[in-house]
Structure 1
């Protein structure tokens, strides 16, 4: 197995942090933006001693829990990992992750972990975000937004679907009065 190799994978589980876990000839491969039991075509991007990472090319057999993401930046922005997952399935995945973690590290019985309490709002709930700016030499302007999913570059965004309306107004204020060059890193917070 080497980078740029295209493979067909069956996703077995979701790791803490949202990446899908598959095995190729016994070797673990992590793939973002997938769901358990999906069959996907992926391209290996990185090979380590004990695992590999791959980029999702296409879903060959989708999970019934897959939904269309609300955010146009999903998949590029590094802020969200689960927007392609229906909310009930998100709660099940997160409960399983916490249960597995407490069992493995703390030795707790699985029944000791209560179900995840659902949020009343699936979008617009976040009251704190970290906005960054970075000079984009190709467009000769600033990108103002969040760190991309696949590298350390800033993705230029106009709004964040999970941030509350007041935070999105603040993003626009930063965009209206940007710093001269990149390097801005500002935490925006709204009191609940």
Structure 2
């Protein structure tokens, strides 16, 4: 291996072979015993890299020269690639992305849970890898992220538009990348965002200052559904009533296809809206999503999988793994808006759903009533506090547990309760293979893993869902 050379205080590693890809789209190479994470590198690349950060056992680097491009490399299709915090695998072909997502899940299960993955099933790719999201959240800022071209223009003209409506630049909470076109959500998403920005600039509405907490406009949320409905939520900070009404009326007139036009007045120092009043300006306070003949109400605060079509595939796999016969009592942990619970309700005796967020449980109950489903029951509260021995005695021991926790995985108290309950089957759906593997390692005390299938919900990112079926050892299945 070539030795490192230093140019002044800059360390250059020549002819580094990229052998893997890590989270956040960074290629991985090895120089002697040093693991090097390289921005925008693809497995198969041979590159000279410049070290930008060095620790004891690893370093971070950027490409100085690309000697041999990988066969997996492809041209990014988005003008914002490399600066925007999303779609960080866009420089690698989609089939290759699926391969490395599969490998990452497999490695996590083997390394952290010591699970035999020889029977792991092929990853299910997303039929659509552009315009697949049904929800995007944008941020207004009076401090736009400036690239090299912007800085050159600023030096020449001493004046530059600093307002932005877009996404946070990674690791810079107060800098927003102004988005011109986003390939994540289909029209009218881009048109609405750009029109909001143009109206605000023309009418001198101030963009939010993330450091000083002042300004008129704060956030924009756009939700779409497979039924063709559109929700737009404007979040204002310190706007006057005439400023609010002016923008809302303009959107109502310009985009008659908007089904639900809402706004929020948020003057807190954080962007969360779950404790804020949502005001309906025009249309309904919700839109509807359709899945497999079931209708789901989606409000401004509702949780719903952001890839609608792939969510249907994920839930079909979950249902198949459970292998319902029709007489099961099912516990659906972390039920959210009850999407999985209502999806499987027609195939079982009863579903008991538990979720931390009270508004999500209200949505779950509404969705059951909307679809004429009478065999679901839902509870709101902290999972480890609700799922007690008394609760199980009251509702019965479940035959099947479906659990779909947040990225942090399940609390150890919840895992302990699952071990005590001894349900015949557990179907564990996870968006984080590492925390899933941690929990599976604990469940191995009484359960064996019998099926594993990754599902890609988020093309061009490192994220991947994984579905695991566990069966009680010596249990009846």
Q: TM-score, normalised by structure 1?
A: 0.86
The aligned length equals 192
Corresponding position: 1:180 with 2:206: yes
| CA–CA separation in structure 2 for the residues paired with 1:59 and 1:147 | 28
What residue in structure 2 maps to residue 50 of structure 1? 57
Q: Is the alpha carbon distance of 1:35 and 1:110 closer, same or farther for their aligned partners in structure 2, counting shifts above 3 Å?
A: farther
Partner of 2:165: 144
Shift of residue 37, structure 1, vs aligned partner: 2.3
Other-structure match for 2:176: 154
Equivalent of residue 96 in structure 2, options 65, 75, 89: 89
Q: Distance in 2 between matches of 1:143 and 1:58?
A: 32
Alpha-carbon distance between aligned partners in 1 of 2:18 and 2:223, rounded to the nearest angstrom: 37
Structure with greater helix share of residues: 2
- Structure-2 change in CA distance of 1:122 and 1:33 (3 Å): same
Whole-Å separation in 1 of the counterparts to 2:194 and 2:128: 22
Structure of greater relative contact order (alpha carbons < 8 Å, 6+ residues apart): 1
Q: 1:177 to 1:49 in 2, by over 3 A?
A: farther
Q: Structure 2: which 5+ runs fail to align?
A: 145-153, 155-159, 211-217, 227-477
RMSD: 2.4
Per-residue CA deviations over 1:4-28 (Å, capped at 9, x if unaligned) read 4232221121113321111222111
* Per-residue CA distance 1:51-79 (angstroms, 9 max, x = gap): 21112233211111111111111112111
1:72 is matched with which residue: 70, 79, 82?
79
TM-score (norm 2): 0.37
Report which stretch shifted further, 59-68 or 2-11. Answer: 2-11
Q: Which runs of 5 or more residues in structure 1 are unaligned?
A: none
Are the aligned partners of 1:16 and 1:97 in contact in 2 as well (CA < 8 Å)? Answer: no
In 2, the alpha carbon distance for the partners of 1:170 and 1:102 equals 42
Q: Tell me by how many angstroms 1:177 deviates.
A: 4.2
Larger CA Rg, structure 1 vs 2: 2
CA contact (8 A) 2:81 2:87 kept: yes
Alpha-carbon distance in structure 2 between the residues aligned to 1:10 and 1:55 = 13
